[in-house]
Amino acid sequence: MTTEQTHAPTLDELREEALAWGRRPRACGALYVTEHMVRAMRAYGWTIVVGALGQPMLYLLGLAVGLAALIQAPIDDGGQQVPYLVFVAPALLMTSAIAVASEEFTYPVMAGFKWRRYFFGFSASPLSPGQIAGGVVAGAAARMTMTVVLYFAFIAVFFAVLQPGALMPAAAWLSMPIGILAGLSFGVPLMAYAASIVDDKGQFALVQRFVFMPMFLFSGTFYPLTNLPIGLQWIGWISPLWHATELGRVVTYGAEVAPGMIAVHLIYLLALTAGGLVVARRLFARRLAA
């Protein structure tokens, strides 16, 4: 008779098995952080929904009834005659995504490090700082997605009213991913800045007043950038809002932009997003290791 010998695991083998199980969440760790960020939004979910619904209605109706009524002549956009509201609408969609980014990548990031310190709780589990940063980005992108989808729906309605019988270009839906990219290109570098702040001394209020507002006003949102004095046009050149708006106008009403400039716009937005994420990951790692 042969007796089958059972091998009792050693302490080292048990330790390795436990570590292997502990490392498993790393494969999709960013998704866990994303889930937390999205669930946390439920605390102020009604304001998100009302804002996402109300902002396009107020902006577009206000412009249609007010400013667009005063500006009877169409806008000359590079030799192309465009109704004023059609010209402004893509810029407002991009602005809405950037406005969401300015909310989600500032105080929630500060809360994760200082006030509620939940980033340290994430870090104590098998999640890397890079995954935590990536989850924050994905959570903010989820909220941006809802905002730009609703904005695009309103733009489609106004387009149909202003140009009866005309169809939006088939590529018009691309304004939604462009809007999300615009929000990320502004928000991810802002997240890196937020991760570097130890004490809140009104820095985010300064960003709103001296970064977001000048960008909104001087990035060709309400008139072509070339209408500004040359001394102010540089604000648009470095602004992610202008680059995203130019792309949005190309896909929504076929604005004439050179193919080379389309590439420049895309590369600029992607570079801001990627560069901001690299810096943010390093700052997250530094803060969480302290």
Q: What is the pLDDT of residues 71-114, one digit of tens each?
A: 667 777 777 788 888 888 899 999 999 999 999 999 999 999 99
DSSP strand E in 108-225: where? Answer: none
Question: The dihedral of CA 218, 73, 55, 172: what is its sign?
Answer: negative
β-strand partners of 82: 75
The candidate with the shortest Cα–Cα distance to 84, out of 249, 262, 230, is 249
CA distances, 201 to each of 115, 204, 266, 283 (Å): 14, 8, 34, 19
Cβ–Cβ under 8 Å, residues 179 and 267: no
Q: Is pLDDT above 60 for 2?
A: no
Is residue 64 predicted with pLDDT exceeding 70? no
Which residues have C-beta within 8 Å of that of residue 120, sequence separation ≥ 6? Answer: 113, 288
| CA quadruple 255, 257, 261, 262: dihedral sign | positive
Distance (Å) of CA 233 to CA 214, 258, 272? 11, 19, 19
The partner residues of 20 in beta bridges, in order of sequence, read none
Q: What is the pLDDT of residue 69?
A: 63
Task: Give CA–CA dist 137/187, Å, rounded.
Answer: 8
Residue 220 phi, psi dihedral angles, 5° rounding:
70, 25
pLDDT greater than 90 at residue 206: yes
The overall pTM is greater than 0.85: yes
CA gap 77, 163 in Å, rounded: 17
At residue 1 the predicted structure's pLDDT band, cuts being 50, 70 and 90, is very low
Tokens 């960008």 sit on residue: 215
* Ranges 24-38, 80-94, 153-167, 178-192, most confident: 178-192
